[in-house]
Structure 1
Amino acid sequence: AEVRVDGKIVEGVDVEGSRIILPDMKGETVEITIQTGYKILPYDIRAAILLMAGKLFDNPSDSVENLPKASTNLLKHYRRWER
């Protein structure tokens, strides 16, 4: 994973399995690049990401456990239960 804030690479990004842990950062734009295993990301995954980003944008103090139920439903077919 690579994280850029205002075009500059952010140091201290930690990847734990499927989680990206970001350090405290400030800026206007954030770009996160990850390797997904898909040549083209499926539309339902894209929609789930947009729903989550919108929720966190509206309420940045919310925890990730309170994300939209629709995003969970969109992603349930992609969950790897053996983890």
Structure 2
Amino acid sequence: MVENITFDETLDCHGFSWPMAILKTKKAIGKMKSGQILEILGTDPGAKNDLPAFARKAGHEYLGKKEDQGFTRCYLDVK
């Protein structure tokens, strides 16, 4: 359940279109260790669908999302 996720890093992608947010996500993941959780904050509606696909292709686990006030919080388990 994403309400109780403890994350290790936060990536703020507010205002970025999803292709740029993916690049920022890849860069952030590259600095993390396996088993750490990345929280990604974003406003692009495409992120809700694209991030799970990106995680699957890159070998990471998409843990879910939750809607906040005007943005979305998504969570990835880095592998």
What's the TM-score, normalizing by structure 2? 0.34
More strand by share: 2
| Larger CA Rg, structure 1 vs 2 | 1
- TM-score normalised by structure 1 residue count: 0.33
Higher relative contact order (CA 8 A, sep 6+): 2
